[in-house]
Structure 1
Amino acid sequence: MKFGKWLRQQIEQTLPEWQDKFISYKDLKNLIHLISLAQKLHSPESGKAEADFITLLNADIEKFNAFFMEQEEDFIILHKELKERIQRMMTTIGPTGPQPMETEYSEEMQKLRKDIVNFHGEMVLLVNYSIVNYTGLAKILKKYDKHTGGLLRLPFIEKVLQEPFFTTDLISKLVMECENTMELVFPIITEEGGNNEQNEGEMNNAMVAEESIFRNTVAALVTMREMRRQSSTHSPLSLPPLNLPDSHVFQYIQLN
């Protein structure tokens, strides 16, 4: 599959409000064509096209960083809020805590489960966002060097490795903490009150969460697994950043 088609699939599989935040791959590709054509014709337009290419490339990186850092900040805040909600629920079901009405408790717990799974899913999508855009940059720069005779790829990628959108360590850590929370909280919730059949039904409904987020997250996780498996090198020029162990890919898929 050609990269342009693969990229369109990745964009379609993410959240609708994220879809204009990805690399301007088609526009960059068109500029490369203009540069190559102008060079063959010895036209002065090649210089303008080259400048436009660099300008758009830098604008895309600024776009990646602004979006990634905004999402990262939101996730840090949401992570803290979810921890506080979990703590309150744990206190509620404890022997010394007030005993809520069964219906009220069930509804709140189901909402908490759903919010945790959605939170996990959106963070995984952000890791995939970083991978997809990094890969797009590597691909378009390789195409630029090949068709224009330039040597832009190596120095530009070295710069990209220091950009905020490339650094997914914090988000990956939050993903793993969220998975640990699910392992810790969900079994405890299941053991509390009510019959097992009812609890199991509520769990299944909660794990589905928002269907679009779940579906897109699974697609993103499969993509990350495939990209790791298919990569034959460990060069930052060809291997996208991936800080989530393969076990987390399978773990999330198995939640449904």
Structure 2
Amino acid sequence: MKFGKKLSALLTPEWRQQYICYQDLKDMILHAVERRSTKPAHLISKTDSFFVDFETDFFFECEKELRKINTFFAEKLAEARRRYEQLVTLLGDVYGNSRLGSISASRLSLMRNRVIGGMKGRGSKKELSKLRMAFSELYLHLVLLQNYQLLNYTGFRKILKKYDKILGDTKGKEWFLKNVETATFHTDRNLDNLISNVEHNVTEYLANGNRAEAMKHLRVPPLDEVQSNWTVFRFGLFAGAFIVLLIIICVADFQGMIEVQHLVLFRGPFYVVVYLLLMAVNVYGWRRVGVNHILIFEIDPRRHLTYSHLLELSAIFGVLTALSVLGFIYAKNLHIPRFSFPLILLITMGLYLILPLPIFHLDSRLWLLKVMGRLMAAPFFPVNFADFWLGDQFNSMTIVFADFKNLLCFYFRNPFLSENYKHEKCEVEDVAINACVSCLPAWLRFAQCLRQYRDNRKTHPYLTNAGKYATVFPTILFATLMNAYRGLRQDKVMENKL
């Protein structure tokens, strides 16, 4: 892989502007070579003059890049050092000793047992867990800074080597030895010392002296986020199966075997399939343009779903939905009640979400359930970015809530899966419940806005947004009253006809 592509793949997205502008420097060299090759022989002297100016401009840009990198590295290192000192102070408070490094091994073991023994029934265990997570995040930051250090050093070495090779000069190497080899970002060893100190403190004080356990918590995922070959293979397998099943469904519809009015039972689950697919496209797009959604959504960088995982989930649920539709179509041949297939699909999706076993992306499912729980209890918790983002997503999926409500209503009212029960009844008869379900997404965002106003005391945008979402309530109220009036009027007309 060429270094330019490697740099784009390995850089930390939110620091993108702080890395060496490798491609710009490379373009400067190529432009100079191109200009030299197009000059006629009688203008050689001007070409030489041009290269004197180019050399000055090129090394001026290199100096500017080096200053930028040194400054940013120093800022981030100072920030990490302050954070480390804060965490060491907190750790010292837990152990009752502000000078942790001076504790002997025997005394440390005694103190560790005392702390662990005193955790029962109190909040100390939670405090240690928070400290472990904080050290883990600091360690990730330090490793990213170390990666920043290495990539920029390699970038300067590569571009200056290219300068000498293409222009037949040695000034690039000379500049590299004089400036980059002695640069602060390359020679400063404080970063390595901080990394060692974090590893030591986590091992000794938060992992009971077990280094393997400590490094398990501190482990940093691959920085280039390589997609698993098995995940990609499974996505291809299930996507292919879904396409085949979809063709079979289309053929069955062409033959008149599908009662279209019953397909509404599958609409809610199918929306989930489409949403997962579009979410995968979003994650891929964010990654390509350098948006660090893992940081923004406060997701564990060591355990999270990539776009290939989301594509795989979309394909799997797509296959399950298609199989349910085919089962519904051919239920008589299978001698199974046809209304059992939407129910099985609904239960499968629900079990996947709440299954407490450490399989099927448990960490990601717990994160989603946590955010959904905070969203449903919107007024009682501070609002994080992920909370109001999910609230906005729900506002775009009001029809999905209505479909799942009607699906649940159908099976609660028809527990024996009778063929005679009309699923349209839930849509027509539950006027008040339908109105509440339609208001639910807007209410969640309305409550979040009020909570944000309480916490920040800013009329705009919080009260302004609350007013915007509040307009949904009278809209749905009057729409519900109008539909109810229209229904009564139609009933009266029918009575008069009879």
Asked if TM exceeds 0.5, the reply is: yes
Q: After TM superposition, give the deviation of residue 46 of structure 1 in Å.
A: 3.7
- Paired residues of 1:36 and 1:46 also in contact (CA < 8 A): no
- Paired residues of 2:80 and 2:142 also in contact (CA < 8 A): yes
Q: After TM superposition, give the deviation of residue 108 of structure 1 in Å.
A: 2.0
Note the 1:56-205 alignment, pairs <5 A.
Answer: 56-91=61-96, 95=114, 102=121, 104-159=123-178, 160-188=180-208
Q: After TM superposition, give the deviation of residue 134 of structure 1 in Å.
A: 0.6
**Cα 1:208/1:88, change in 2 over 3 Å:** same
Q: Which amino acid aligns with 2:204?
A: L
- Paired residues of 1:25 and 1:136 also in contact (CA < 8 A): yes
What do residues 11-62 of structure 1 show as CA deviations (whole Å, max 9, x unaligned)? 2xx2x32121111011001000111123332445444433332221111100
- Paired residues of 2:136 and 2:217 also in contact (CA < 8 A): yes
Distance 2:114 2:202 in 1: 22
- Paired residues of 1:117 and 1:207 also in contact (CA < 8 A): yes
Structure 2 residue 24 is the aligned partner of structure 1 residue 27: yes
Q: Secondary structure at the match of 2:223?
A: helix
Structure (1 or 2) with the larger CA radius of gyration: 2
**Cα 1:94/1:183, change in 2 over 3 Å:** closer
Q: After TM superposition, give the deviation of residue 107 of structure 1 in Å.
A: 2.6
Distance 2:129 2:176 in 1: 44
- Paired residues of 2:33 and 2:167 also in contact (CA < 8 A): yes
Distance 2:156 2:112 in 1: 50
**Cα 1:167/1:102, change in 2 over 3 Å:** farther
Distance 1:143 1:10 in 2: 21
TM-score (norm 2): 0.36
The number of residue pairs the alignment matches comes to: 200
- Paired residues of 2:21 and 2:65 also in contact (CA < 8 A): yes
Q: Secondary structure at the match of 1:219?
A: coil
Structure 2 residue 227 is the aligned partner of structure 1 residue 219: no
Where does residue 230 of structure 1 map in the other structure? none
Where does residue 17 of structure 1 map in the other structure? 14
Q: After TM superposition, give the deviation of residue 208 of structure 1 in Å.
A: 7.5
**Cα 1:89/1:174, change in 2 over 3 Å:** same
Q: After TM superposition, give the deviation of residue 103 of structure 1 in Å.
A: 5.7
Q: After TM superposition, give the deviation of residue 219 of structure 1 in Å.
A: 3.1
Percent pairwise identity: 27
Q: Secondary structure at the match of 2:124?
A: helix
Where does residue 217 of structure 2 map in the other structure? 207
**Cα 1:128/1:184, change in 2 over 3 Å:** same
Q: After TM superposition, give the deviation of residue 6 of structure 1 in Å.
A: 1.0
- Paired residues of 1:35 and 1:148 also in contact (CA < 8 A): no
Distance 1:188 1:140 in 2: 47
Distance 1:158 1:165 in 2: 14
Where does residue 439 of structure 2 map in the other structure? none
Distance 1:168 1:123 in 2: 13
What do residues 52-98 of structure 1 show as CA deviations (whole Å, max 9, x unaligned)? 322211111001100111111112212211111111112397759xx
Distance 1:125 1:208 in 2: 13
Distance 1:185 1:158 in 2: 42
Where does residue 39 of structure 1 map in the other structure? 36
Q: After TM superposition, give the deviation of residue 100 of structure 1 in Å.
A: 7.0
Q: After TM superposition, give the deviation of residue 154 of structure 1 in Å.
A: 2.1
TM-score (norm 1): 0.68
Q: After TM superposition, give the deviation of residue 101 of structure 1 in Å.
A: 7.8
**Cα 1:37/1:95, change in 2 over 3 Å:** closer
Q: Secondary structure at the match of 1:81?
A: helix
Q: Which amino acid aligns with 2:223?
A: A
- Paired residues of 1:38 and 1:45 also in contact (CA < 8 A): no
Q: Secondary structure at the match of 1:19?
A: helix
Q: After TM superposition, give the deviation of residue 162 of structure 1 in Å.
A: 1.1
Q: Secondary structure at the match of 2:207?
A: helix
**Cα 1:26/1:184, change in 2 over 3 Å:** same
Segments ≥4 residues shifted beyond 6 Å = none
Distance 2:207 2:3 in 1: 42
- Where in structure 2 are there 5+ consecutive unaligned residues? 97-110, 225-301, 303-498
Distance 2:121 2:55 in 1: 66
**Relative contact order, higher structure (CA 8 A, sep 6+):** 1
Q: Which amino acid aligns with 2:79?
A: D
Q: After TM superposition, give the deviation of residue 102 of structure 1 in Å.
A: 3.8
Q: Which amino acid aligns with 1:157?
A: F
